[in-house]
Amino acid sequence: MADSAMPPVHRRRTSSPWALLFFLAVSYGVAALGAFASADAGTVYRALDRPEWAPPAWLFGPVWTVLYAMIGVAAWMVWRHPDRGRVRTALVWWSIQLALNLVWTPLFFAARQYGFALLDILLLLAALITTVVRFRRLSLPAALLLLPYLFWVAFASALNASIWHLNP
């Protein structure tokens, strides 16, 4: 059999610390851009009429710090999978949900467009579900790493809807 007829050998990518740093940098870059775009987020949040179940403003920073680390590590785990086509598709969805994540913060805090922010976060939730499904096909641990983020975004969606209702 000729070598050209042989299927290509797919090898798992190495555990490159540079790739891990790249995915963490992208994740935390989104966090930094969002924070920069809404520097007075804590003040805006505290001034809003919120439901009784709304978390305190101080909780968001620590939660997002952990979630962004998990988002970056999950992408790195998927990037290591040998099936480059499926990895590419999964990482496109990862990028889409990160872009929607980035848009939400300035929409909600800087522009105070709670209805548009709700639309964005619902699109984020759909993109994130798709990302989790795509990641699951390549790495169960990567998909599991995204579940706390998925639950937080679902909670944040309900909070956004409630704030929109309470702050016409």
Residue 13, pLDDT score: 63
Question: Which domains are seen in the chain, by residue range?
Answer: 16-36+56-166 (1.20.1260.100)
Q: Write down the pLDDT at residue 121.
A: 98
Torsion angle in degrees (nearest 10) through CA of 7, 132, 129, 64 = -140
What pLDDT is attached to residue 37? 80
Q: pTM score, two decimals?
A: 0.89
What confidence score (pLDDT) does residue 38 get? Answer: 78
Tell me what pLDDT residue 39 has: 79
**Can you tell me the distance from the alpha carbon of 114 to that of 7, in angstroms, rounded to the nearest whole number?**
52
Contact yes or no for 168/115 (Cβ under 8 A): no
pLDDT in the model for residue 9: 47
Q: Residue ranges of the chain with pLDDT lower than 70?
A: 1-14
